[in-house]
Amino acid sequence: MMNRMQLALMKKDIRGITSNKQVFSVMLIVPLALTIILPSIFVFVTVLVPDTTSDFQKLLEMLPSTEQIGNQKQMILGLLLNKIMPVFFLMIPIMASSVMAASSFVGEKEKHTLETLLYSPLSLKQLFQSKILASFSVSMMVSFISFAAMIVVMEIEVLLLTGSAVMPDLSWMIIMLLIAPSISLVAISITVRGSAKAQTIEEAQQRAVFLVFPIIALVIGQFTGIIMVSTWILLGLGIVLPLIAALLVKGSVGKFTYEKLLR
């Protein structure tokens, strides 16, 4: 159970990130590009440029027969929403959590408030928990708002252009309830751990960059027809990632010392 001082520290961190114009703009622009601009481009190209539908034929052939229902445009729009966009979406919790976590301890160093923070009655474990929970709450807030905005905008565009809707499937529930929280905790634990050693926020953020590489590989694999991210693959990730996140958080807490923070 968190005490009042931990809650106060969390609120301070959240206020700090929202008042930092540079960081706040990054957390606004990236989700806007991935959940509004990119899907809108895909939707308009699919509906208004018929010749491009052949480019998706290889992906459509990989769909299960139960999902090959309706005309080609409807199938492509369903493929876009439920197979392609989930992979792009995973970049948002990684970005939001790493940006927030990078400014945790190293942000205190840059503002010369770390020593004051360490003199507080909170233990090092409590400080670490507060930093993680503050970053996690912001990451989840950004992720859910981005998801809601993407669904609303895409549904309006598809409805106006085709006269019918394309609904999200089970894969989005797995992503929002299992994968996004888990991958946020993985990014946070790595970034906060690096934040304690780093001297600048940019240096701390670099430690979580490698998490984007598997996402990029999945995007390339899908567009080349090598792999199709199915509900079963996402469910497998939803089982494995929470275990990895729990191990990383526990391991990071155990390795934190006052000496490392004050270097």
Question: For residue 57, what pLDDT is reported?
Answer: 62
Question: For residue 177, what pLDDT is reported?
Answer: 92
Cα distance between residue 110 and residue 201, in whole Å: 9
pLDDT in tens, the chain (263 residues): 556 777 777 777 777 666 666 667 777 888 888 899 988 988 888 777 665 555 566 656 655 555 556 566 777 788 888 888 888 898 899 888 888 877 766 767 767 776 677 777 777 777 777 888 888 888 899 999 999 999 999 999 888 888 888 888 888 999 999 999 999 888 888 877 766 666 666 666 666 667 777 788 877 777 666 666 777 888 888 888 889 888 887 776 666 665 566 56
Question: For residue 2, what pLDDT is reported?
Answer: 59
**Model's pTM, two decimal places?**
0.81
**Dihedral sign (CA 200, 186, 146, 217):** positive
14 exposed, middle or buried (CB, 10 Å; 0-12, 13-18, 19+)? middle
Please give the C-alpha separations between residue 153 and each of 66, 160, 185, 214, 215, in angstroms, as whole numbers.
Answer: 27, 11, 28, 27, 24
Distance of CA 67 to the CA centre of its chain: 27
